[in-house]
Structure 1
């Protein structure tokens, strides 16, 4: 009797699994004020520094803590864990292209949760002096606008404008909070 040879083709997606798991473990999601969004503000401080200042407060300067970043990220923790578990399972199934969208989704959830903290919070209220301060009106070159008698003209105060929520006068600081997905070690 002659020996019988059989050939069986076996498909291995080990390489796809390795790439997918690598993609999941080699990237990080950063939520906050990235350098490219920090922007320079009047007074020489940028939005990243201002965010840190308000997150932890500066008692010596009379600025109470108004935490927004850490509580905002904490708000999405459970949902982020579910998304990561799902992405890990897809990575083990060799679906490398499922990783990046999962990380982006976590970043967007975190960004929105942090921004929501600017509107829904239990922060200490602004001082009356801050609410009643009327800013000087300036022209395009930054010169103070004066009336016919030479008195400086002033705009409406925050209280007059109805903007009494701390850190939400223009929304610039809130909008600077975003997310980025980067390769680990490149931040």
Structure 2
């Protein structure tokens, strides 16, 4: 009996369970390109996601709502990707990256096209747009995903 193939399969399966996908504004994308910016992309995302009632800013969730709504889609996609990994068509890292890229893309789509609370008239006049969550596009561009080992959490 060839145990080296079995050992290889067991190692691939073990590697699949040692990863997690993080989606959102990751530390490396949190800073703003404008050096005079008062807030990072992560801070701006948090304000929009949860709102700031004391500042008159309603919650406009785009991250949690997208990930929750698509949870089953991501679960099925990860299962498909993992099967490819077990069959040695890709690494465990690639399996997770594929699903992370899809989730980040979905969040960006939600920022652009989601049904968010409309902006106040004064905000529309200031930014010359009625599009919530997008001013100059840096928050949208900062949404990404990373794959990391579970023990890095």
In structure 1, the partner of 2:119 is 126
| Residue 67 (structure 1) aligned with residue 61 (structure 2) | yes
Of the three residues 39, 47, 65, the one matched with 2:41 is 47
SS in 2 for 1:97: coil
**CA offset at residue 92 of structure 1?**
5.2
Partner of 1:21: 13
Answer yes or no: is 1:100 the counterpart of 2:90.
Answer: no
CA distance in 2, matches of 1:15, 1:180: 28
Structure 1 unaligned segments of length 5 or more: list them.
1-9, 134-156
Q: Matched residues in 1 for 2:141 and 2:95: separation?
A: 22
| Aligned-residue CA RMSD (Å) | 2.0
Q: Which residue of 2 aligns with 1:175?
A: 141
CA contact (8 A) 1:23 1:96 kept: no
* In 1, Cα distance between equivalents of 2:142 and 2:120: 24
Matched, 1:37 2:29: yes
Q: 1:134-177, CA deviations, whole angstroms, 9 ceiling, x for partnerless residues?
A: xxxxxxxxxxxxxxxxxxxxxxx51xxxx211111211111101
Distance 1:126 1:174, change over 3 A: same
5+ residue gaps, structure 2, are: none
Identify the residue that residue 143 of structure 1 maps to in structure 2.
Answer: none
Q: What is the CA–CA distance in structure 2 between the aligned matches of 1:37 and 1:125, rounded to whole Å? A: 26
User: Which structure has the highest helix share of the two?
Assistant: 2
Specify the structure having the higher radius of gyration (Cα): 1
Q: How many residues align?
A: 150
Contact 1:75/1:113 (8 A) holds in 2:
no
Bigger RCO of structures 1 and 2 (CA < 8 A, at least 6 apart): 2
Query: Which residue does the alignment assign to 1:11?
Result: 2
Aligned residue runs from structure 1 range 127-166, under 5 A: 127-133=120-126, 157-158=127-128, 163-166=129-132
| C-alpha distance in structure 2 between counterparts of 1:110 and 1:76, whole Å | 8
Q: Is the 8 A contact 1:107 1:180 kept in 2?
A: yes
Q: Could you tell me how far 1:45 is from its partner in structure 2?
A: 1.5
